[in-house]
Structure formats: C-alpha cells, structure tokens
Structure 1
Amino acid sequence: MEPKKNRRKRWASLMALMVIGASAVWWFWDADRVESMETTSGIQIKFRTEGDQLQVFQAEKWQPFFAKGVNLGASLPGHYPGELPIQKEDYLRWFAMIDEMGANVIRVYTIHPPAFYEALVEFNRSKAGSPLYLMQGIWSPEELLIEKKDAYLPEIREQFRQEIKDAVGAVYGEVTLPEKSGKASGKYAANAGKYLIGWHTGTEWDPVMVQNTNRLHQKLPPYQGKHFNATADATAFETWIAEMVDTVATEESKYGWQHPMTFTNWVTTDPLSHPGEPLHHEDLVSVDPMHIQPVKWEAGYFASYHVYPYYPDLFRYDPALQQVKNDAGQIDTYKAYLRQLKAHHKNMPVMVTEFGVPASVGIAHLGNLGRNQGGHSERQQGEIDAALMREIHQEGYAGGILFVWQDEWFKKTWNTMRFELPEDRRSFWLNVLTNESLFGVLGMYPNKEGVLVMDGDRSDWDQLKPEEKQKLDIRVPGIDEIWMTHDEGYVYMLAKLAHPFDPEKAKLYFGVDTIQGGNKHTAQLPGLTLDEGWETLIELGKAEESQIQIAANYDFHTRLYGKRYGMLEVKEEELRDDSGVFKPWKLAVGLEMEPPDSKTYHPLEEVLVGKLLRGTTDAQDPQYDSRTAWQAKGDVVELRVPWMLLGFTDPSSLAVMSYKDAGKSFSSETSKGIRLLPILVERSTQSIVGKNELPSPYPVSQLPIYSWPAWEQVGYHERKKQSYSIIQKAWKQIQAPVTDKAQP
C-alpha cells in the first residue's frame, strides 16, 4: 500500500493541477466575454437605441455607435446561395479583410452554415480591439408572399415563425437544423449572440402583397405583444410585422439577452409620399416603422431601409428631391431623400442597410450625378460608394451597410435575365453585362484575369500551356497570326499583324460566326461577301469607334423591345436574314411608361454597352480599368469580349441565342464554337487590305472553329477591387455620430 505521506503529496499535486485548470478555464471564458450591461431583471444588453442614435456599452458606459457595415452574401462562383459553398477558412480570411477595410458590422440576410458563426467567434476572440459585430437577417417567405399576396395565411406565418426560431437558435449556438434543400443545416454550437448588434427581420416587401394584405384584414385590431405592439394607426401588414418582430424578441429573451430590433424596408414601401415618382406601383403603399413600438424591450428598436441612388425613378424625376445640394454644390437627390426619410422618423434611429453601385460593363438604371446601376470602373465604384456613405453619416443616420462584400455570379438583372439561357446555369459563368453580379468590393474574377493582361504584350500568351490556347490557321492579308482562348467571363483574341497597328491609319475588324445565319455582307467592309453570315462584328479603331455590333435580325434588344413589346421602331427590312445591317449593342435601362401604369408618358430608355474600351487590365497599373476590352502595342493587338456580346446565353454549355423568334420567350441552341475572320481596312482608301487576294465569296464555313468542352466546374480567383482602398480611406475618416455626451 502507498504510504500516507506520498498519497498526501499526490493529492496536493492533483489539487494544484485542478486549480491551474480552473484558472485556465476562467481565463478562457473571461477573454471570450463581451462587456455588456445587466438590467435589473437580469437581462444582458450590449447595444441599445437612445433617441435617434444607436449606443454601445463600452468602458462601463453607454457611448454613441455608428455602424460601418458590409453585407455578406452566401455564394461563390459556380454555386447558388442554397448550396452553401463558403468554408470556415473563407469566412476567416474575409473577416480579416473586412475588418482591415474599417467595417465594424457584418450583415447577413439569412441563416448561414455553422462555419460562419464558428469563424466569427474565433475571429473576434483572437482580435485585439473592437470586434466585428453581426446584424442577423431573418428571411421571410418571400416567394410565397408574392404568390399568395396575403401575409396572414397560416402556411406563411408558420414558415416565418419557424425561420425566426431557427435563426435565433443558430446565432446563440443552441440548435441543430436538419438538412433541407436551399437552407443551412447542421449543429450550431458557437455562441455568436454576444457579438450581435441587432436583428433584421424580413425581406423587401412587394407593394401589391402589402396592399392586398391590408385590404383583406383591414378590421384586424393592432397587435399587442409581450415586447412589441402595433399602434392604433398601424395597417394590417404593419400589425403582422409587429407580431413577427415580437416573435424574434420573445425567442431571444429565452437566452437572457436583448438586442435592437428592426425590419427590412425599402424606398418602394417607405412611409413618404412621392408625387414625382412616375410609376404608381412604386408609391402604392406605405409600411411605416413608426406604427410599431417596443414594450419592455430595453435594447430598443430602429428603422432600416435599402436605399440605392438609382431606383426607383423618383430619384431623377421627383421635384421635391431637387432642392438639396451636396458638399460640391450639386443638386443631390439622394441626400435630399435621406433628409426627408430621417425627418419622418422622429426620435428613432434610422439605418441604411443596403446601398452601393456595381463595377460592371452592364447598366440597369440611370441615377442622378452619374450614380447609375452599373457602367462604372472599380475606382468609380469606390468613389461613389464612399460619397454615399459620407452622406448617410452627414444626415444623422445610425449607420450604413454597403452592398455587397463579394461578387456573386449567380445574380440576375431585369435587362439581361431573358438572354441568359438556360437560366439555372448563371453561376457557371460571369456575365459582366449583368450588373447585379458585380457589386462586390472583393472581386471574384474569371480564371484568366491577371493571367492574360490586356496590354499589347504577348509574353503572357506565350506562357500559356498548349492546351489552353489555339492558333487559328487563317490566311488574310496584313494578319500574320491569330490566337484564341477563353475563361468563365470572356473570349480572348490575339492578332499579330504584318505591320504595327495605328488606329489613326487603319481599322481592325473581326467578323464572328457562331451559328447558321447572319450577315454575309456589310457596309463597313465594302466589296466583301461571305458564304456564311456573321452574328457580330468587332471594330477596333479610335476610341469613339471601337465597339462590337450585332446583326440586325439577331439583335436581342430590338427583338424584345421592338418586335415583342412595341417600344422601339422595327424596320422590316432589317429583320431579314443577310440585311447587311449591324446595330449597336444596347441594353434597356428604363421601360416605356404610359398611363394608367404611370402618371405621364416616358419612352424606353437604352444605353450602349458594346463600346470596347482601350486600356489595360493590369491591376497594378495606375491606368487600370476593369472594363477594358483591348490594347495594341506595335504589331500585337489583344482583345477580350464578354460572352453575351458574342451572342452566348451560356458559354459553359456552348449555348447561343437562336434566330428563331416564336412565342414570348427566346430560345437558345448549341453552337459548334466560334469562327473568326480578321480584316484590316486602310483609312486613306477606305478599302480592305489585300482585298484582291480574298476569294469571293469568302469561305467562312471553311474557317477553323475555336471550340471548348462544356464545363461544370469553374476557375476563379478573388482580389480586392480598386474600390476597397477608397472605401477604406473614407470609412476611417467617419467617426461615431456626435451626441451631447456619453451617458453613464
């Protein structure tokens, strides 16, 4: 038997280890603890609303807090959000970059996978200084609401209530969600509740649904809940929202915490009247946060809106918004709107939880001061986003949350979605004409971006593997070599000419054939006839000339808005095959509006998107522009063309737009690939170089085809856009809102 003395020593050693272990556990817990205030009822509060501002409990007192946030999507290239492809290491990498940018809040629209909350806790635990706070969105049954147009249907209420319960459980790390298509699932064990800044309930409300809900339930008494009530002025839909917000509060209170509450709203359903808005639909009904009040909810309640500077059209047309000037002395309708919106919400904080512009070739709406929905370089994107954030801050808002952190290839836009076929493959390619895909501050670039630089230097082409490029055996006077390659965003071409290319003395054309049909002759190339037509014609010359045009009878834009909708003049002779007419590539940015849908008549608005910008795609070059299409240096011409401008509706399956034009919808067909014919034209004589050496008709059908295998996996790489550093600089200059004094 062991001597008693030895046993006492052993017990003493064990006790010492236990004390050390207990101390380690306490140290770990203490390091993970977030300072908060405990109410008399034992509830923990970290953030609260006070007057028209948000406050944070810090250094043992309440201090003003201005949210500088960024929205975070749930997708990666090649995936839809419901596939939940983002891994923990992605989140951790992004959090570090978001923090470095100067943000203090991340907003998500819905429940993310467990890895998101684990990464957020891990990042904040290891970070010195203030943490990255979370604004948790709760997704409402958006499709059902739009379809059924009645928020009070049991299936909608039950589905939303369950989503609320799941979201609260996920944030506090005390739920296991079963697998369900399009939804996050798994065991949620990380408690991110201590990093929460607030709950953001619902999605943008369809005005027709809101109006119909109000009509069906107009006699419903205002909701009176445990933590939130609807006022006597509340509509039926506002009463429904009060009930859902109260449900969130009730669920959270089970965990001993309170956080500020808000619900999603947007300009379309704001509580203001907009007599200058042309469309009745955009000013049909109001959803007013002032008609909901907190009860025994010390964390408070605030209003939040998605406010973009280009939508709806009231930002351009409403005279009531043309009275305010910005710091540069310009009439600024965005600033005017912010001022009006803030004035309505007396003694209530207001936050803009979505704003921003994309860096894209495509444009979907026009805005005041050039703040369009698209058409911007990355530098312009950063300058506009920074200016919008400064105005949000200047107008006394509680914060601004930028849309969005990363580019999202799967996104669709109203003026290109009909041309993306099949529509369920959008995530497999980057359509730079779809502006919604390119709102990100973190760019998600196709595979050869940065590998092939459009700068007129062919050395990067020479470094490509033989299987990554194709030399086309094309014998045309003045052209020595033609090479082609592609990636998820562009078709790339390199032409080596017999002599240096001078746009002042010559033009370089590329005729592009993808399917049977098209123009076998054109005025741009007099005397040239073909045995097979071209769908598109690329012209490289002076800055104002460089563009891609589309065969008139193939032109998606005219076929949709002219032939189908009657909003454009259609010349029957141009709809014939081989009309010889190529038309500028355009996108609609505003549909024709006429009574009774609108208050006054407005014609169709359209913009050119086929202009080909000469410059460089070298991100390290001061002249870098993400929209750049071509460059020439000496006898080398490099060009990249977005897939859709060549007629492709889904390059990942070699799908191109069909000439067939029956019914309401467009159709696509499978292309064998691309036949390319380069042609040089001398300016002095306006004639084709070596025209007499070209057979007539030229056998386009015998040209080599550049083709590629269909793909199911994408290659891409991420890089901070130029906008990142511009936003970073602006955000670091923005401090917390000024108040009289911090409250004890």
Structure 2
Amino acid sequence: DDFYNAIYTYNTTHEEPLYLLQALTLPDAVNYGEGDAFRKSFYGRLLSDGLKLVDIIHGRRILPVGEMSGSGYYRKDISPWVIGYLVGTEWNPDVIAYTDERDIYDTAYDGAYFSTTDGAGAFEAMLTKIMDRITAYESKKYKEQRLIGFMNEPLTDPFVYRDDYGKVIYKFENKDLEKKTYGRQLDKYVCLDAEHVIPGEKNQAGTFAFYHLYDFCPEFYKYFSEEQKAGLADILPSMDMSKSFDGYLDLLGKYHTMPVIGSFGFSTSRGITTDAYGGPLDEKAQGERLMTVYRDMEAAGFSGGCITGWQDQWERRSWNTAYTQDLANNKLWKDLQTDGQGYGLMEFTTSEVQIDGDPSEWSPDKVLLENQGRRLSVKTDGEGLCFLVEGSDVSENKTLYFPVDTTGESGSRTSDSPKLNFSADADFLLCLNGKNDSRLLVQSRYDSVRENFLNEMEGKNPFEEYPEADASEFVPIRMAMENKTVLEQVNPETYPLRYLPAWEAGKLRHGNNNPDSETYDSLADFCYGDGCVEIRIPWALLNFSNPAQRLIHADYYKNYGVKFMEIKKCRIGMGDGTEDEISMSEYSLKWKKQKYEERLKASYPIIQSVWR
C-alpha cells in the first residue's frame, strides 16, 4: 500500500500528476508451471487479482498479512490517475500451445464488454473473459471503465513464420496430430492477436495492443510464411527496416486497428545476453538508444511507450548467469555480470572505491604486500574485489600479473601462457597489459562456462574429458550469448545445432568509473593514475555465487555441476614475470552489510531532455 499512498500524496500536492498503467502479472512458478491456462492457479489467480486491483485503485480494499500478492490497507482512491489495466506477463509459449491444442475449451467468448472474433484460440478466449469480467466488475461497482489490454511480445505475436523443418506428427492424448512448427528455429510456434478481442456494445473505454519490444531476429520479415507475407502485402513494402528492431515497430503500427503501446529497455550491466549492440552499453549509450526507440515508436504511430525499469533490480536473473548464483540471496550484493539487473535509470551504488586513478581514498592498513618497489592494497565492496597498485614504474607501459587463489580444490602453481610460476595454486590470473589488452584469465578446470555450456558452444560433453585439477592452462573468461542466426537450408530429418557464441567477459575496460568525473565511463574496470592503477574485479568473474556469505563454486567435476562452498580467505600475488616465482599472500574475506546510495544514471538527463 506504500506505493499507492505515495501516488495519492504526490498527485494531491502537485499540479502535474503521475499516471499509472496498472499491470496484472503472474509469478514465474505459475506461468511456467504444469497444466493449461484454465487451471485455478492460472486463470483463477489472474481473475481474482484483477478484481482486487479494481478495489485497490479505488481505495476500497484491505488485504490481510500473508497473501502472496501483497498486503496492506488500500484506502486512497487513485482511480482518477489510472489510465488502464495490462493483463499478464511475458507468457510461456508452452502454456499457450497446450491450451490451444486441447479441444475441451471454447475458442469463442461473447461477453457484454469484450468478445472474441473468428480465428481466436482458447488462450485468447481466456484473456477475453478476464478482460470482460474485470470491466464488468468496475462498471457495476464503481460506474467507471478503463482501457484494458494484454501483454504480447515477438515470441507470441500474431505473425506466422515458415516451417523450415516440414510437418511433425506427434502424439497428444492418444491421438495423432499434425502440427506446423513455424519458426521452430526461433522457438516461435504460437500466436496471440489483440485484433481477436473486440469491445462489446457496453464498452465505452476500449482496448489496446501492448508489446514488450526487443531484438527478436535480424531481418525477421524474411522468414514469414508465404501465407503471412501475402496477408501483409500492403504493409511489408512500406516498412522502414532502418528503424529500431528492423522495422518491427512499423509493422505493429500498421497492422493493428487499435492503439499500440510498447515497453522497451536496455541494460547497463557489464554482462550481456546478446551481441546485438556490439557489447555492453554504458549509461550514456543506454539513454541514447532508449530515445532512439522512443522516436521510432512515435514515427510508427504508437500511442505510448514505457521504459521497462525505473531502478536496477538486484534480485533479477539472466539465463546465462543464473546457474552461477545463489539465487535466493542475490539481492544482497550487486552483480555486475547479470544483464537483467541493469535496466533501470537509477542505480544503487555500493562501491567504496572509485576506480578513477586517485589513491587518496585508500588507507595504509589496506596494504597486502610489497615487492620490487611496488605496493598492492586490497579492498572489497558490494561490486567486487578491488586493487590499488602503486610504484614508480606502474603505468600502461608496464605489464603486471596478479594470481588469485580461492578454492583450494583446484588451481595451478604454473601458467603455460604467459610463462609464470606462483608460490601457491592459482585459480585466476589477472594480466594487466596496458589500456587495451588487459584481462582476467581462469584456470581451465575452474572455467564455469566450459562446464555449463560446452555442449551448446561446441557440441561436446564437458564431463567426458576435462582438465586436471592442477592444469597449467589459463583461459579467457567467457559468457554464452544467444544465437539468432536463421539457417536458410536445413535437413528436416535432423535438427542442426546452432552453437552459442561467446563474449569475453574477462576482458577489462580502461576508463574513469567515478560518476563525478567529466570522463565518466560506467563500464570501466581499471584506471591508471600517476604512478598507480586502480582495479575492480566483479565478484561473478571470480566464481562467487554469493560474496555476502563468502560462497564460491566448488569443483565442477567432483560435483557434476555447480555446488557452493564457503571460504574465509583467498591468496593474492603480484609480479612482473621477471621473478622465479610470484609470491602470494593471504587475504581475509570479510563482509559487512552493504550501504548503498541512489544515483541517477547518465542516461536520465538524456531521456529527461527529450520527454520534457
């Protein structure tokens, strides 16, 4: 109720109010659970929550403590500022397919406020019934109506892709069914169409089409079925493919007969899931890209747009990092590597060290070791392990090496390339080699991407042959990325592997990471100063699953996957490769509850200047 109370307070004390498009979502456990969309936990929950939301915005609802959907005293009437309702989430295509294939449900629904048209499926009929019931409830109880629509996205949009793999015959409830698998390469096998849901005579508010927008497939329109191309013959020739999402915005704007709204976002995280933008986006690039999409939406005739995140969300996960994390506790620390956490315009900064080449914030008690006229200081914060190296020869022209040992279960005292020896087993090797060629390497046995994605990247089983515990090979740290390549020629008898590409996540970026600097670079990992260099290594790059509880990955090949183990200390060394052996010293890992500050990203004023 704090959120709704805050809206009421703001709007009754300001001349320009804030407006709300109220979402009605489902938990992942329901959306990706078993059964069809008409089960009680799916349809029943959507409807029940929808009716509660009507009462909530009118200030007429009390939810007791213990209800999973939220609790509180909703006594403030914010309905004058609620634009409408948005039903659903990014739907699980399997639930849509399963619901539509069953012949026990009607595909038609005729309500007083919403009805389906010919061609609707059972899932669309379910959504129509939800929209009709919510509108009927508000109309009868409060004598008001609002816009209402449902969530959609490229994976479930109205468009049909050609079937490159031929027809598939499969068993369903003891019957042979022929199922067209259009767009199987893209996992696009279901369709939802807002045009199949039309307002009834009693409906005076109307509906809209809503899409969550992202780069689905380069030149997607090339892969439409022939029937689909014919159906869009009046639209496809006039699409502006140079605009955002390869003309997808133009297509939606021209296809729909109702208002179209889109949500869109871009992450400033260090890690990525796609190379569609040439790598991670810094905060400035985030703002510029967001406003490019917004302008393209205006040009395409959209009625509105929503940026998907106001603030970064530490609890979010991404498919290519979730396997590495203690997901129940990832809100305790800031994971720079998870793409899903960085979509906000405001961040929560926990950094105790500004990576800007200025050593003034470091105290003498942080010095870990000294050798060859150089001094290494070490700190930790909510984002990673931080180094300060000081010395008369410390510059971008001097190559330095920093072995790091964490596990005690694996690691090597030697490195084949570069040729180095260490006083203890090392799991990681930080190679500082100027502004453009510095990176963190991992011992091949402790490479989490090899264990988890080798089959998807190279078609090999990682457990058939794997590196020895003391292997002396140190390899680049990578992230698996999406492969959206569409194969033009395929064999319908076999499913060809499209291997996942990799991004070198361990490549370090030079720049000034201090937000107060005129040359601020939000993605910078290290920065040279006068006779010094500051470095931050993100926790996830060091295979920490939960730094707040000092949990790291145990040996993958003893445990057949990612298991967590607690450590209390690590070992860190420093050298330039001229010594016989790089000496390593113990560093105690301690964690204190993180203090954070809210900070508007550099993207915010860019958006503000356009929207103002």
TM range (shorter): 0.7 to 0.9
1 CA distance for matches of 2:492 and 2:36? 25
C-alpha spacing 1:343/1:507, structure 2 compared with 1 (3 Å): same
Q: Is the 8 A contact 2:244 2:293 kept in 1?
A: no
What's the offset of the Cα at 1:218?
6.0
1 CA distance for matches of 2:78 and 2:22? 10
Q: Deviations over 1:365-413 (max 9, x none)?
A: 232xx2x6x7111011111111111111110001110011000001000
Q: Is the 8 A contact 2:456 2:499 kept in 1?
A: no
What's the offset of the Cα at 1:523?
3.3
Q: Is the 8 A contact 2:350 2:596 kept in 1?
A: yes
Equivalent position of 1:396 in the other structure = 301
2 CA distance for matches of 1:243 and 1:317? 32
What's the offset of the Cα at 1:573?
8.5
Q: Deviations over 1:520-544 (max 9, x none)?
A: 1113453x43342111111112233
Equivalent position of 2:222 in the other structure = 319
What's the offset of the Cα at 1:655?
0.8
Equivalent position of 1:722 in the other structure = 602
What's the offset of the Cα at 1:273?
2.1
Q: Deviations over 1:4-53 (max 9, x none)?
A: xxxxxxxxxxxxxxxxxxxxxxxxxxxxxxxxxxxxxxxxxxxxxxxxxx
1 CA distance for matches of 2:493 and 2:603? 38
Equivalent position of 1:42 in the other structure = none
TM-score, structure 2 length as denominator?
A: 0.88
Runs of 5+ consecutive residues of structure 1 not aligned to the other structure: 1-113, 682-687, 733-744
Equivalent position of 1:625 in the other structure = 521
C-alpha spacing 1:669/1:544, structure 2 compared with 1 (3 Å): same
Q: Is the 8 A contact 2:291 2:610 kept in 1?
A: yes
Equivalent position of 2:259 in the other structure = 349
Q: Deviations over 1:112-137 (max 9, x none)?
A: xx1111111111111123x2110001
Q: Is the 8 A contact 1:408 1:437 kept in 2?
A: yes
Q: Is the 8 A contact 1:149 1:208 kept in 2?
A: no
1:478 corresponds to 2:387:
no
What's the offset of the Cα at 1:237?
0.8
- Secondary structure at the counterpart of residue 441 of structure 2: strand
1:455 corresponds to 2:352:
no
- Secondary structure at the counterpart of residue 424 of structure 1: coil
Q: Is the 8 A contact 2:388 2:534 kept in 1?
A: yes
What's the offset of the Cα at 1:565?
7.7
Equivalent position of 2:476 in the other structure = 584
2 CA distance for matches of 1:414 and 1:559? 15
2 CA distance for matches of 1:137 and 1:597? 43
Q: Which moved more, 1:203-212 or 1:155-164?
A: 155-164
- Secondary structure at the counterpart of residue 164 of structure 1: helix
1 CA distance for matches of 2:347 and 2:246? 28
2 CA distance for matches of 1:288 and 1:164? 21
Equivalent position of 1:251 in the other structure = 137
1 CA distance for matches of 2:126 and 2:332? 39
Q: What does 1:293-308 correspond to in 2, within 5 Å? A: 293-295=198-200, 296-308=202-214
2 CA distance for matches of 1:375 and 1:568? 28
The one-letter code of the counterpart of 1:340 is L
Higher relative CO (Cα under 8 Å, sequence separation at least 6) belongs to: 1
Q: What percentage of residue pairs aligned between the two structures are identical?
A: 26
Q: Deviations over 1:635-690 (max 9, x none)?
A: 22211110011221110111111124256531121122221101124xxxxxx1xx
Aligned-residue Cα RMSD (Å) equals 2.7
What's the offset of the Cα at 1:271?
0.2
Q: What does 1:283-432 correspond to in 2, within 5 Å? A: 283-295=188-200, 296-309=202-215, 312=216, 314-315=217-218, 318-319=221-222, 331-332=242-243, 334-346=245-257, 348-352=258-262, 354-367=263-276, 370=277, 375-420=280-325, 422-432=326-336
Find 2:445's aligned residue among 525, 536, 553: 553
1:239 corresponds to 2:125:
yes
Q: Is the 8 A contact 1:218 1:236 kept in 2?
A: no
Q: What does 1:624-703 correspond to in 2, within 5 Å? A: 624-662=520-558, 665-681=561-577, 688=578, 691=579, 700=584, 703=585
The one-letter code of the counterpart of 1:478 is G
- Secondary structure at the counterpart of residue 240 of structure 1: helix
C-alpha spacing 1:731/1:650, structure 2 compared with 1 (3 Å): same
Q: Deviations over 1:136-172 (max 9, x none)?
A: 0112365334322311124433322211111111111
Q: Is the 8 A contact 1:268 1:282 kept in 2?
A: yes
C-alpha spacing 1:597/1:416, structure 2 compared with 1 (3 Å): farther
Equivalent position of 1:214 in the other structure = 100
Pairs aligned (count): 576
The one-letter code of the counterpart of 1:259 is R
- Secondary structure at the counterpart of residue 493 of structure 1: strand
Larger radius of gyration: 1
The one-letter code of the counterpart of 2:357 is G
1:139 corresponds to 2:21:
no
Q: Which moved more, 1:609-618 or 1:433-442?
A: 609-618
1 CA distance for matches of 2:504 and 2:68? 37
What's the offset of the Cα at 1:184?
1.5
Find 2:34's aligned residue among 127, 148, 157: 148
Equivalent position of 2:402 in the other structure = 510
Find 2:510's aligned residue among 614, 622, 637: 614
Equivalent position of 2:434 in the other structure = 542
C-alpha spacing 1:202/1:553, structure 2 compared with 1 (3 Å): same
Runs of 5+ consecutive residues of structure 2 not aligned to the other structure: 165-181, 225-235
1 CA distance for matches of 2:460 and 2:46? 43
Q: What does 1:14-163 correspond to in 2, within 5 Å? A: 114-129=1-16, 131-140=17-26, 142-163=28-49
C-alpha spacing 1:140/1:645, structure 2 compared with 1 (3 Å): closer
TM-score, structure 1 length as denominator?
A: 0.73
Q: Is the 8 A contact 2:512 2:521 kept in 1?
A: yes
Q: Is the 8 A contact 1:454 1:638 kept in 2?
A: yes
C-alpha spacing 1:233/1:189, structure 2 compared with 1 (3 Å): same
- Secondary structure at the counterpart of residue 445 of structure 2: coil
The one-letter code of the counterpart of 1:716 is Y
The one-letter code of the counterpart of 1:390 is R
Equivalent position of 1:17 in the other structure = none
Q: Deviations over 1:495-517 (max 9, x none)?
A: 112x132323x201111111212
Q: Is the 8 A contact 1:280 1:599 kept in 2?
A: no
Q: Is the 8 A contact 1:648 1:657 kept in 2?
A: yes
What's the offset of the Cα at 1:714?
3.0
1 CA distance for matches of 2:59 and 2:538? 44
C-alpha spacing 1:630/1:568, structure 2 compared with 1 (3 Å): farther
What's the offset of the Cα at 1:337?
0.9
What's the offset of the Cα at 1:699?
5.8
What's the offset of the Cα at 1:595?
7.5
C-alpha spacing 1:660/1:558, structure 2 compared with 1 (3 Å): closer
1 CA distance for matches of 2:290 and 2:342? 14
Q: What does 1:160-175 correspond to in 2, within 5 Å? A: 160-175=46-61
C-alpha spacing 1:301/1:595, structure 2 compared with 1 (3 Å): farther
C-alpha spacing 1:240/1:612, structure 2 compared with 1 (3 Å): same
What's the offset of the Cα at 1:549?
0.9
Equivalent position of 1:493 in the other structure = 387
Q: Is the 8 A contact 1:490 1:643 kept in 2?
A: yes
